[in-house]
Amino acid sequence: MAMAEGERTECAEPPRDEPPADGALKRAEELKTQANDYFKAKDYENAIKFYSQAIELNPNNAIYYGNRSLAYLRTECYGYALADATRAIELDKKYIKGYYRRAASNMALGKFRAALRDYETVVKVKPHDKDAKMKYQECNKIVKQKAFERAIAGDEHKRSVVDSLDIESMTIEDEYSGPKLEDGRVTIAFMKELMQWYKDQKKLHRKCAYQILVQVKEVLSKLSTLVETTLKEVRALGRWEPGGGLLAGGPRSSETHRPTWLGLPSLCPPVSPPGCPSLWPLGLCPTLSISCPLPVSSAWSPSVCRVASCPCPPRCPLPTSLSRPLPLRWPLFFQTEKITVCGDTHGQFYDLLNIFELNGLPSEANPYIFNGDFVDRGSFSVEVILTLFGFKLLYPDHFHLLRGNHETDNMNQIYGFEGEVRAKYTAQMYELFSEVFEWLPLAQCINGKVLIMHGGLFSEDGVTLDDIRKIERNRQPPDSGPMCDLLWSDPQPQNGRSVSKRGVSCQFGPDVTKAFLEENHLDYIIRSHEVKAEGYEVAHGGRCVTVFSAPNYCDQMGNKASYIHLRGSDLRPQFHQFTAVPHPDVKPMAYASTLLQLGMM
């Protein structure tokens, strides 16, 4: 398929005045050709690498910067893309693709007026170019719409969409056979039916969708900007009694215990200290562990099981083979609380279903945190977000949702969610989604030791957890400050801070992370916001973890995805990778801005 004018990577004419001594210009052209090949293969990282090498040899070629700008756009490095496009224009005022690239970069950053100026330039130079005209008209439409929205926002008497809804008067037609809320409430039966209904590519009735949105807005509005969660280290399940059997209840102070290693669940191989016999597997679920009131040491088995041990005497009193429960009152059995942390899902509904298939449905015993960017890009964003909101209503204390940079109006307008809601429902429903998104918490702290946010750390030193708690989140994010940073910032390998590759917030180094953690008595942070080839990344000496849960992002990146398990007994992240599953033939960004569909990026 031929690419639009603003989309095509340029094949420059070989320079005529090539210096004969070192052949630098010739080598630069060879590198640019290699970069173009990588770009065509959608290997944008290598394309950027080879464009950069070409620029090092010939830093005065506008085409190299223009091509690299497009590669940066594909990797969502909008700040770098903007800088390259600007440099290309500085080198060659007549290089039209430079204006295309700069307009695309500004559009991605929500700077619509700046983008419009560049599209105006293109139309003046190419008045008969249909593609340029369409992009100019679409951008101009957005600029006018934004001006109208600002005028409305200035009205102190603006009402919530909720105030204008009359949900009770909405009727569900007889021919509708899909899921319905039971007495206006979400149930597990409703959620299971909803997910199957969506899997079959059917639409939830608008009355049910509005009911979910109104209720979840009320739930979210009562939460703190910083949600604080405690995972208990252990939970008593019962004790062994003489003759066998696991009974409920706590330990007795009069109970005595002999020192020995205790058995692991049957799914784990028996483990014992050197010189001691192999022990009888207890046949319990893999999340169980054993505690002893005597001085014990804890160890991780080769599987997920945890076992506590006491020093074994020189001659172990136990027989080499046990066929029944231990004959005395032995220690309690415990279960460690666990939570699953997921990263970006970006409208990939069928991959969301796969997470629940692999990791279990949400429940009070199986809590989740979804770390923002639920919508945009993927064309099943409505299905994703209403499923997540439904589980939030079903398990308000055990299913957590944090805001991402794509739960914002600017991103939704460009990357598809607004268009999708308008297509599947109405513009009014999108306005209600926007209101709900503004109430999503910005961060979550686990056991006072692990901080989770979508983007990352801050442009300035000295930010505390209390500062996060005080953020007034019920709004669209500003262009700078702590709220912006929590949604937009990224880590970098070098110390210090630098200008963001995205053009918003900053990039922060290992020293910044270390100082923030020490000041706030934290162990590490978990963030999302970036595609990772393996679905996760551990950086900054283990202090900065990235998790991304949208496999084969946009049907073109080929990346794995992952989710994280955190346990109360040990907050070390346990990564679980998975790959993409098939989905119906609806392309990503099917509802995105016309500018995207015209090849803006």
Name the residue with tokens 């990146």. 557
Residue-wise DSSP of 564-598: EEEETTEEEEEEEEE------S--TTTTS-HHHHT
Residue 398 per-residue DSSP state: T
Euclidean distance between CA atoms 563 and 387, whole angstroms: 18
Cα-based distances in Å from 139 to 2, 188, 406: 23, 44, 20
Q: Which of 346, 398, 400, 406 is catalytic?
A: 406
Contacts for 161 with CB less than 8 Å, ≥ 6 apart? 428, 431, 432, 435
Are 152 and 159 in contact by the 8 Å Cβ rule? The answer is no
Catalytic residue at 406? yes
Report how far residue 409's alpha carbon sits from residue 209's, in angstroms, rounded to the nearest whole number: 20
Backbone angles phi, psi at 382, to 5 degrees: -60, -45
Q: Report the C-alpha gap between 63 and 69 in whole angstroms.
A: 10
CA atoms of 427 and 410, how far apart (whole Å): 15
CB distance 25 to 58 below 8 Å = yes
Answer positive or negative: Cα dihedral of 480, 73, 442, 146. Answer: positive
- Residues that are catalytic: 406
